[in-house]
Amino acid sequence: MLFGKTMGKLFTICEWIMRFAYVNLLWFLFSIAGLIVLGIFPATVALFTIVRKWILKETDFPIWRTFLTVYRKEFKNSNKLGMLLIFSGAFILFDVFFIRMIEGTVQFVLIVPLLIITAIYLMITLYIFPIYVHYEFKLMDYVKNALFLSIFHFHITLLMLISLLAILFLLVYQPGFIPFFSMVSVAWILMFCGMYSFNRIGIKQNKISKV
């Protein structure tokens, strides 16, 4: 009996490892299919959609068909969001190179607001995809809500960042994991933490509505 339970748990673990590897490979495949620039954002949305279903304990669905459907459906809108993130990040990088060319007090005065802007950008990026696949907002509302949640649940934001750094550290020293567990691990951490924040917000809203 004990042997049967142990084998059942091992089978479940192996099954989840295969699911993770499969959806991670799909992310790479569909990113490349969109020539990276146009493919990475719809592929990321599809990845987060599947991970969200798993976190909600939905496992009985076709991964390939779901990934493909979401990829096609969100191709245009996700790339709009992606272009916003890219141009914002490019603006920050341009400012970094510009400030490096300046010396003295002016550099110090400019670098402080740049650090604040960079921190805000990173905080928004952590929450943007979990919010995108969980809610239906207008483009800028995703950004506003991502910023709100990242500040309101700052301890969760820090947990996200620390977890991502841990994953990055692991991938640097074990690059063989990259094709199979890189993006799906990132998506799982961000989506899990995001869902926790969404649930906390929902609980507080319910309490307020009952008052």
Cα–Cα distances (Å) from 204 to 108, 149, 201, in that order, read: 41, 13, 5
Instruction: Please write the tens of the pLDDT for every residue from 56-94.
Output: 999 889 999 999 999 999 999 999 999 999 999 999 999
- Quote the domain boundaries for residue 164: 2-210
* pLDDT value, residue 111: 87
Instruction: Work out how many domains the chain is built from and give that number.
Output: 1
pLDDT over 80 (residue 209): no
* pLDDT value, residue 5: 63
The CB density around residue 89, as the number of other CB atoms within 10 Å, is 14
Single pTM value for the model: 0.91
Please identify which residue in the block is written with the tokens 């995809």.
129
Instruction: Please write the tens of the pLDDT for every residue from 99-119.
Output: 888 877 777 778 888 999 999
The answer to whether the beta carbons of residues 156 and 193 sit under 8 Å apart is yes
Query: pLDDT confidence of 200, banded at 50, 70, 90?
Result: confident
